[in-house]
Amino acid sequence: MRCEWLHRQQRGHLLLFCNGWGMDTHPFLPLTATDLDVLMFFDYQDLEPEQDGVSQSASSFPAAGLADLFNRYPRISLIAWSMGVWAGQQLFAPWAHRLHRAIAINGTLCPIDDGFGIPVQVYAATLARFDGAGRLKFYRRMCQKGETLETFLLHQPKRTLASQRLELAALQQQVSCQPPQSSLYSRVVISSQDLVMPTASQLAFWQGHNILSLEGPHFPFYRWESWDEILNALQ
């Protein structure tokens, strides 16, 4: 797993962002932050932070790890998206009592599953056929058409095909299902036209939870201009 500071201005509120599969910082460069520091986690080939995978331009992941973060910031919130919803549960469940807010966007704790996530055969076919054309097809399904897709393609991840394929295969091996009752998330956001993590599967998994419905595709972030705005909109 890699982590990188998107914004670090020594604010008192830290936002932890667990990104989706295949992503890096580039799709999120259009988002600003005013009153937040933002630390992003991505590339879940395993869930141990790689110190050499951290951007040195914005300081590094603290040597003492998560404990140091929680000791340093008086307020910490979590946003997890897509496959990052599952990863965020693995990483931060022991710290749930210290989180000011935890928001799941378009993901479940059972992300490779015929009833509650991406259907097993669809996931396997994506891995088996993954190439440049397959990656572009995925981005189109993720963003659908229009301005969201155009903006995303201008800021698409700089990950190699090999890196993304390795992550896809690693997740297939390590992902397991957890019941919704174990969730650390206090708010669940579900897009109404999600073609990646099917909307109906998300609704089935999260029934009874605090759900906010959004119009649009799996990738919803360009409707906002800043991380501050996202937190305010999804509370």
Q: What is the pLDDT of residue 67?
A: 87
37-42 and 2-7: which strand pairing? antiparallel
pLDDT in tens, 159-206: 999 999 999 999 999 999 999 999 999 999 999 999 999 999 999 999
Percent helix, strand, coil in the chain, to 5, is: 40, 20, 40
Residue 75 CA to residue 12 CA, distance in Å, equals 6
- CB-based burial label for 199 (10 Å; 0-12, 13-18, 19+): middle
Tally of domains within the chain: 1
Domain span at 36: 2-233
More confident residue, 134 or 60: 134
pLDDT of 228 over the 50 cut = yes
Q: What is the pLDDT of residue 159?
A: 97
CATH of residue 132: 3.40.50.1820
pLDDT in tens, 141-164: 999 989 999 999 999 999 999 999
